[in-house]
Amino acid sequence: MQKLYWVLQLIILQMFTVQIVSADSIPRIYIIRHANVDLPKPGWGSAKKSKKYKNAYNTVGIETFNPEKALHKIENHASIDTVFCSPQLRAQETALLLFSEDVILETDSVLIEFDYPVIQIPVLQLPVKGWLAISRITWMTGINRGKKSNYKNRISSLNDFSDELTAFALNNELAVVVAHGFVNRKLIKLLKANGWKFCKKGRDGHKNLSVNCLEYNN
C-alpha cells in the first residue's frame, strides 16, 4: 500500500513538472531561406535574357552545402518532425538536406516566391537583377500586371497562412518554414504585427540559408 502511495506521488510530481516546463517554454518560429541555386550569375542583358534567367532560377536545384551552417542556429533541431515549405524545387531540396527525409514536408503554394512578369522595354540593356527589381516594384504598385497573381492577393493569402502558422507554433511550441527571401520578409512583417518578436540574436537577414528566429511572449 505504501509503495502504491509513493508511485502515485511520483506520477503527480512528474505531471506537475511537465506543466511547469510547458508554461515556461516560449513558442518559436524559425524562418529559413533556401540555399544558393546552381546557376551562374546573370550579368547584364535585355528584358528577354532576364525573363529566361528568371524562368531558369525557378526550375534549377541548389548548390550542395553543409547543413550545420544553418542548423546550429536552431535550438532542438533534432526534434523537428514537420517543416512548412514552398513547393518550389530550391526550397524543398534545402529542407530535405537540412532535416532529412524523416520530416514531413507540408508544402503550401502560398509560400511560392512572389511571381511577377518581367517588364518589357525593347533594346535597353541593364543588369539582369536590375530588370527583376524594376519588374517586382512595378508589379507591387499595380503598374506591371500581366497574367500573374496580384500583390494584394498574395499578401492576403500570406496573412491567412501566418495565422495558421501561429496556431501550429503555439500548440507545438516550435514551427519551421523554408521558403524564399521576399516571401520570408513579408511573413516576418506579418508575424511581428501580431505579437511575434525576434529572439535574442534571432535576426539573420534574408541571404541564402539565413535563419530568422521569432518568439511569442504574450
Under 8 Å between Cβ of 60 and 35: no
- Calpha distance 187→88 (Å, rounded): 17
Q: How many folded domains does the chain comprise?
A: 1
CATH number, residue 196 = 3.40.50
- Calpha distance 178→183 (Å, rounded): 10
pLDDT, one tens digit per residue, over 79-128 is 899 999 999 999 999 999 999 888 999 999 999 999 999 988 888 899 99
Q: Output helix, strand, coil percentages for the chain, rounded to the nearest 5.
A: 45, 15, 35
CA 113 to chain centre: 10
Phi first, then psi, for residue 151 (nearest 5°) are -60, -45
Scan for cell 530588370, then name that residue. 131
Quote the domain boundaries for residue 92: 2-216
Neighbours of 31 (CB within 10 A): 25
Tell me the whole-structure pTM to 2 decimals.
0.84
pLDDT, one tens digit per residue, over 148-205 is 778 999 999 999 999 999 999 999 999 999 999 999 999 999 999 999 999 988 999 9
Q: Which residues pair with 214 in a beta bridge?
A: 29, 198
Residue 213: exposure state from Cβ atoms within 10 A (0-12, 13-18, ≥19): buried
